[in-house]
Amino acid sequence: MEKQHSFTREELLMSGRGELYGPTNAQLPLPNMLMMDRIVHISDEGGKYGKGEIIAELDITPELWFFDCHFQGDPVMPGCLGLDAMWQLVGFYLCWLGGPGKGRALGCGEVKFTGQVLPTAKKVTYKIDLKRVILRKLVMGIADATMEVDGKQIYEATDLRVGLFTSTQDF
């Protein structure tokens, strides 16, 4: 069966409810923590390292929940939400490949913020390049990622690590 290579917001919400890959496997968070509106491309080939890539987007509107509280009079998207979106996408990728278990962020190498997302922006684009994918007893993805706002790169993260765990009891 051919793998799906793009996902709508409704399909991402299905993942958050455990309806896409099953309730015992990795799920994206539901709103408000779901930090993407669609995955426009996902592949187990290509990318900077030839191990796979993901491109996802988030539509920006002044009504997004974080602009009201971060910060009053100086609204800006929290940098940690962009970083979390990158981890969310690596975990989704592992599940998309058929890896079992629930996703957990395991860390990253370096993170650089060189810009900001303001309420006047239109679109955030996440680009994930898989560096290493392990699908054995250990299920883990390691990736580099960037985040753009309206075509300008503003975040960069290296060695994002996400694992899938069939039991999170002792995690």
Enumerate the active-site residues.
70
Determine whether 137 is exposed, middle or buried from the number of CB atoms within 10 Å of its CB (0-12, 13-18, 19+).
exposed
Instruction: Return d(Cα 122, Cα 17) in angstroms, integer.
Output: 27
Query: Please, which residues have CB within 8 angstroms of residue 149's CB and are 6 or more apart in sequence?
Result: 60, 115, 116, 117, 121, 123, 124, 125
The alpha carbon torsion through 4, 8, 9, 15 (nearest 10 deg) reads -20
